[in-house]
Amino acid sequence: MQIRCMGHDHQWAFAEHREASAPAARRRKGTPPVPKFPKTVPPRRTESQRLRDWKRPRVPAMERDVVLSAPEAAGSSSSPASSSYSSFAETRVICRVCQKQFAQYTCPRCNARYCSLSCYKGHSVQCTESFMRENVMDELKQMQPEDESKKKMLDILKRLHLEEEMASDGEDESMLSEELIQKVMSGEEIKLEDLSDCEIKRFRQALASGELSKMIEPWTPWWKKPSARSISLGPDGSQLIRQVNAEDTAVPYPDANTDQEASINEIPEGPESPLPSLKQLTRTEPSPLLAVHLVDILYSYCFTLRLYNGDWHSDPLGASTVALSMSKVMGQDAKPETVPEALAACIEETCSPAYRHTGGFRFAIGLVDDIIAILSLGQNALICALCDFHRLVEVGKSMLKVEKVGKTERAQGSPKLRSAARKLFFMTCWVHEQPDEAWPSLAHIVQVQKASMEELETGNWKADRKSKPQSAVLIEEL
């Protein structure tokens, strides 16, 4: 016989006493029979164990445990006597919602037992809504610190970027305006007038320091292209083949606003009309120093094209001003008598503070190589170079009338540009009448002068190095 206490987990098993035949001696003495208990009776519980079990919460009536004896759980029909010797009965809890399945889960809020997700959703609306609300709030709390940390990191990076720019420039400079950024994003062309005063100042500082040189694609001079060796002109010096566009007008020199990609990438065109003879221009004999003056003019031409990366059309007035400042023959009406004198004046101007950002002496030596290359190409290349230089000065002179400049600057610049244009035209006519043998010999003279200047520069560098006292050794290798 088995008894279940619903409030506690105590189980007590009793076996019916079956009186057996006692020995005859004990019966004669009149001793009562001793009951026999099974060996599987659990040990007696202490007072502390009973008190702990008494404090356990009672299970509601709807969640009463269902007790299955060992024989019933196994599906076997055994005698009641054998169930007393079985182990503790298996205990399962019925689902509170459907009351059909065994409960496997517990609600974290009301401790209700349920068997599946559908029963959990139906057992209490308050529990499900509060559970979902807590999950959403926890997710938001986890996401919010990440967004705040991203914002803080962006602020730190922006502050560091601004500090680096301020340290490099040495002064407070304004950033690009929103309107200018929108123009850049839309692909519109930005003009100098669109910039503020601070932005113009910063832009010019970047130009002077060479900071923007990395963004510019290097230009290949036309006199170093293979097509420069096959320039052909007519006997009168005019262009044999001339590209005719629909936008051509009667103006002899192109406008600064036209598309200049072809003129930058291709060989410059020669004269549009036949060149007159020197007898038609002057009654006196030409100066024998014109070859020396040609070296000065070619140096100025190469310097201007190199400085503007081949695109003097972007700023004709500025390019013509630079050309006159570099050429002493055109800008100051100087008359050098030897090639070393002409080159020395040009190199001195290149190394001056006004153009120290261009590269100094090494850049000047590269320009001398450009002069040698143009002279080596012969008469036709020289005529094309002088015609291109003449167009530069003419367009700069026309832009001087359009640009908003002061009266003093206009009064000083216009006569100089007009005089330079006349000298270039006269030099073009003089080159056209010279024999072809004159240019290789002049190129050789310039080559010899270049070698002597390089040796002189190397000697000065060694002399300066020897004159400087050697500093004391601060760290000696052991």
Give the tens place of pLDDT for each residue, 46-85: 666 666 665 554 444 444 444 444 444 444 444 444 444 4
User: In this structure, is residue 122 part of a structural domain?
Assistant: no
210 & 236 share domain: no
What's 262's DSSP letter? H
Residues 64 and 181 both lie in one domain? no
Question: Are residue 315 and residue 400 in the same domain, yes or no?
Answer: yes
292 and 188 in one domain? no
**Residue 379 counted as domain residue:** yes
Pair 208, 354 in one domain? no
Residues of the chain above pLDDT 70, percent: 62
Domain limits at 16?
A: 2-92
Do 292 and 338 form a contact (C-beta atoms < 8 A)? Answer: yes
The answer to whether residue 356 is domain-embedded is: yes
Q: Which two tokens stand for residue 429?
A: 């006519």
Domain end, chosen from 75, 92, 109, is at: 92
Which tokens in the block code for residue 343? Answer: 């080159």
The helices-and-strands tally (H runs, E runs) of the chain is 18, 6
- Helix ranges restricted to H, 116-230: 117-123, 125-169, 178-186, 197-209
Interatomic CA distance for residues 349 and 307, integer angstroms: 14
248 and 379 together in one domain: yes
pLDDT at 67: 42
| Mean pLDDT for the stretch of residues 118-138 | 80
Q: What is the mean pLDDT of residues 100-106?
A: 87
Predicted TM-score (pTM) above 0.85 = no
pLDDT band for position 439 (50/70/90)?
very high
Q: What's the pLDDT at 315?
A: 87
Positive or negative torsion for Cα 309, 313, 316, 318: negative
Inside any domain, residue 392: yes
Asked if residue 252 and residue 297 are part of one domain, the reply reads yes
Same domain, 305 and 435: yes
Judge if 204 and 225 occupy the same domain.
no
Residue 304 placed within a domain: yes
Q: Nearest to residue 386, comparing CAs of 329, 314, 444?
A: 329
Structural domains in the chain (count): 3
In this predicted model, which residue has the larger pLDDT, 118 or 52?
A: 118
Same domain, 338 and 442: yes
pLDDT reported for residue 11: 41
Domain annotation covers residue 129: no
Please check whether residues 307 and 373 belong to one and the same domain. yes
Domain membership of residue 471 (yes or no) is no
- Contact assessment for residue 107 and residue 127, using Cβ atoms and an 8 Å cutoff: yes
Residues 48, 194, single domain; the answer is: no
Q: What are residue 67's phi and psi, to 5 degrees? A: -105, 125
Q: Which residues pair with 2 in a beta bridge?
A: 13
What would the pLDDT profile of 252-288 be if each residue is shown by its tens digit? Answer: 444 444 444 444 447 898 888 889 888 888 888 888 8
Domain boundary among 61, 77, 92: 92
End residue of a domain, out of 43, 67, 92: 92
pLDDT for the residue 75: 44
Asked, for residue 112, whether it belongs to a domain, the answer is no
